[in-house]
Chain A
């Protein structure tokens, strides 16, 4: 596949890029990261002024790790334990003694709050209902109305399959950019993809590579070409986003905060996987609809995996028995990376730590989205249970 895919890439030498394609930007903002194979519009993203909510948020470099041995037993998650882990973690993150005060540092009544879950691993390995229900409960205690909360992802079908349904979450909105109706169709009565009405053509990630999709694939990509459009869910429907990834590997790297966002809020992603994986994960997060709305990241590490991710192969599952909390997605990804890759090494799936796995975090740090330098990460550990 790479062979074919790469025929669509236009490879630019750095010199010709600077001279010919991005004349309006200073070289420091050229749309290409070190070793990046193709041009993107990251420079456009970096021109937008930041605000008080911009990543890395209120506590750059601070990551709270909460462990509880009792959080899972024989595959069954202890929801009460998860609730208490979240409670303790939030108070520690926010340096306060009342969990409601902690939440109110990040969200306010009247705001539309989105919970970005990760259902790609199906019933076996998705963001747990124990965590999502705990988050909702604590949001409500903090004054957030239930009907101001939305659970969302790219894939409506996977949300349903993993139990993120109105029946299980009454009063909570459930939304997927790749919308599928109750009959299982991705197309409306006019033969149009539902998702076309859910993408915002004013916000896009442009990368100079493309790939043609067959009829089977198009409903999951929404569009072809060099543009990946942001979902209206993030650009228009939500004020704040709480990112709820799950602790999984992606080869010798991880799919935590940056990946859950980078590939979870745009269309036309397949073309970006093999050659721009790290770049996409970092650069999409630099666009204001993500950078300025994601105020909190809570990684579900009760149950995760150290190989086979982002899919779900049970022999690679492991009970990390922890939550990670941070406003800084980059610092959290670094902390999670050390844990997950450490497990890979322990289990003989990888010989050591390799720079390639850190690339997206380093890129994101370069865009001002957080702290990738371990010496500057304030890792706070809490043990519960």
Chain B
């Protein structure tokens, strides 16, 4: 999205370089780290037909009898033209380009949005904040989420959303077929979760993890903390909320992606307005645990904390 991006991505590259040595645990097929780079299409008008060739999309032969009434690719700042201010959130996660297709088959209408992000972690991030109440699937454990009107999945650098307009069984069936066709073309290494989320007792709740980037993400997901992050440019928050026998608990891993200092650990925890918190700040990251009592929070923090 213009010159601003160029400045931004240079700083990303520096910040990301350290991730491979931190407490990130990627899937076995995953890269040690992914560098977000300036998008080659940004700053030039490009050619829509060439751009769409760069994206895995469905063709009429994939779905015999289907009418593909729309096939567009949105590159760089063009996403703004499609979804206006909602685009800002995608840019925070390293938006590269998006293919939009509208398909009619057997009287059912589908809208396919395939987002390519610059890194798998960005694809996971936008997926994690876009799913809710999955009737089938689980965000982190399966990589997909199915609801009556929507099928969402992430794979490699891609986040896919298929919306059907009727919610009928037939529409869901066609959505599933379209998703299968596309998922075969977008496979790639999955982003892993920070290692602390693989430890007990939180490992069973990973479907609740959301990756929040940027102030807009904070305002959306944890608005009570927005005031702490308004002036910080580059950061991300891994947020997990869950409930077990000890009651409601929240864990946040706040990581700096730039040079600005993070909010103090205590301030992060206090912002969650829970009874007891424990927090640790080290190596450019803050881990905060909130629960109904200090003792439980400290215990949980001891269990999951990994020194960077």
Q: Which residues of A are in contact with B by a Cβ distance under 8 Å? A: 1-8, 75, 120, 122-124, 155, 157, 211-221, 250-253, 263, 269-270, 273-274, 277, 307-317, 347, 349-352, 354, 356-357
Q: Which residues of B are in contact with A by a Cβ distance under 8 Å? A: 1-8, 11, 42-46, 74-78, 80-81, 83-86, 88, 91-92, 111, 130-133, 147-150, 161, 163, 165-167, 214-216, 219-220, 222-224, 226-227, 233-234, 258, 272-273
Contact partner, A350, options B83, B132, B223, B233, Cβ 8 Å: B223
Q: Given known contacts A214-B43, A274-B88, is B150 in contact with A1 (CB within 8 Å)?
A: no
Q: Are A212 and B150 in contact (CB under 8 A)?
A: no
Distance of A347 Cα from B85 Cα, bound (Å): 24
Q: Are B5 and A263 in contact (CB under 8 A)?
A: no
Q: Are B216 and A274 in contact (CB under 8 A)?
A: yes
- 24 of the cross-chain contacts (CB-CB < 8 Å) are A1-B214, A2-B233, A3-B258, A7-B4, A212-B3, A212-B4, A213-B1, A216-B77, A216-B81, A218-B77, A253-B219, A263-B84, A269-B84, A270-B77, A274-B214, A274-B215, A307-B132, A309-B86, A311-B86, A312-B163, A314-B148, A315-B133, A347-B133, A351-B224
Chain B residues whose CB sits within 8 angstroms of the CB of A347 once the complex forms: 132-133
Chain B residues whose CB sits within 8 angstroms of the CB of A277 once the complex forms: 85
Q: Given known contacts A3-B258, A352-B273, is B80 in contact with A270 (CB within 8 Å)?
A: yes
B141 CB → nearest A CB, Å = 18
Chain A residues whose CB sits within 8 angstroms of the CB of B272 once the complex forms: 351
B125 CB → nearest A CB, Å = 14
Max count, chain A CB within 10 A of own CB: residue among B149, B150, B163, B220: B220
Beyond contacts A215-B45, A315-B131: 12 other A-B pairs, Cβ-Cβ < 8 A, are A1-B5, A3-B258, A75-B167, A124-B165, A214-B76, A216-B76, A216-B81, A270-B80, A270-B88, A274-B216, A277-B85, A349-B132
Q: Which residue of B lies closest to A314 (CB)?
A: B149
Distance of A263 Cα from B220 Cα, bound (Å): 19
Q: Are B8 and A251 in contact (CB under 8 A)?
A: no
Q: Are B77 and A1 in contact (CB under 8 A)?
A: no
Max count, chain A CB within 10 A of own CB: residue among B4, B44, B76, B86: B4
Contact partner, A217, options B8, B81, B111, Cβ 8 Å: B81
Distance of A347 Cα from B132 Cα, bound (Å): 10
Distance of A216 Cα from B214 Cα, bound (Å): 23
Chain B residues whose CB sits within 8 angstroms of the CB of A120 once the complex forms: 83-84, 86
Chain A residues whose CB sits within 8 angstroms of the CB of B147 once the complex forms: 314-315
Q: Are A217 and B77 in contact (CB under 8 A)?
A: yes
Q: Are B165 and A313 in contact (CB under 8 A)?
A: no
Contact partner, A214, options B1, B220, B258, Cβ 8 Å: B1
Q: Which residue of B lies closest to A252 (CB)?
A: B223
Q: Are A217 and B2 in contact (CB under 8 A)?
A: yes
Distance of A120 Cα from B220 Cα, bound (Å): 18
Chain A residues whose CB sits within 8 angstroms of the CB of B133 once the complex forms: 315, 347
A180 CB → nearest B CB, Å = 10
Distance of A313 Cα from B163 Cα, bound (Å): 8
Distance of A256 Cα from B280 Cα, bound (Å): 40
Q: Which residue of A lies closest to B75 (CB)?
A: A216
Q: Are B4 and A1 in contact (CB under 8 A)?
A: yes
Q: Are A273 and B258 in contact (CB under 8 A)?
A: no
Distance of A212 Cα from B149 Cα, bound (Å): 37
Q: Are A356 and B8 in contact (CB under 8 A)?
A: no
Q: Are B219 and A251 in contact (CB under 8 A)?
A: yes
Chain A residues whose CB sits within 8 angstroms of the CB of B215 once the complex forms: 2, 274
Q: Which residue of A lies closest to B43 (CB)?
A: A214
Chain B residues whose CB sits within 8 angstroms of the CB of A219 once the complex forms: 81
Q: Which residue of B lies closest to A311 (CB)?
A: B86
Q: Given known contacts A1-B1, A216-B74, is B8 in contact with A252 (CB within 8 Å)?
A: no
Chain B residues whose CB sits within 8 angstroms of the CB of A1 once the complex forms: 1, 4-5, 8, 88, 91-92, 214
Distance of A122 Cα from B113 Cα, bound (Å): 13
Q: Are A263 and B78 in contact (CB under 8 A)?
A: no
Chain B residues whose CB sits within 8 angstroms of the CB of A317 once the complex forms: 149
Q: Are B4 and A4 in contact (CB under 8 A)?
A: yes
Q: Are B2 and A211 in contact (CB under 8 A)?
A: yes
Q: Given known contacts A3-B8, A7-B4, A274-B215, is B83 in contact with A213 (CB within 8 Å)?
A: no
Chain A residues whose CB sits within 8 angstroms of the CB of B220 once the complex forms: 251-252, 307
Q: Are B85 and A269 in contact (CB under 8 A)?
A: yes
Q: Are B45 and A251 in contact (CB under 8 A)?
A: no
Q: Which residue of A lies closest to B85 (CB)?
A: A273
Chain A residues whose CB sits within 8 angstroms of the CB of B226 once the complex forms: 252, 354, 356
Distance of A52 Cα from B212 Cα, bound (Å): 46
Q: Are A314 and B150 in contact (CB under 8 A)?
A: yes
Distance of A274 Cα from B85 Cα, bound (Å): 9
Q: Are B1 and A3 in contact (CB under 8 A)?
A: no
Q: Are B42 and A214 in contact (CB under 8 A)?
A: yes
Q: Are A313 and B150 in contact (CB under 8 A)?
A: yes
Q: Which residue of A lies closest to B135 (CB)?
A: A315
Q: Which residue of A lies closest to B3 (CB)?
A: A212
Chain B residues whose CB sits within 8 angstroms of the CB of A221 once the complex forms: 80
Contact partner, A2, options B45, B77, B214, Cβ 8 Å: B214
Q: Given known contacts A274-B215, A316-B132, is B223 in contact with A356 (CB within 8 Å)?
A: yes
Distance of A262 Cα from B224 Cα, bound (Å): 25
Q: Which residue of B lies closest to A216 (CB)?
A: B78
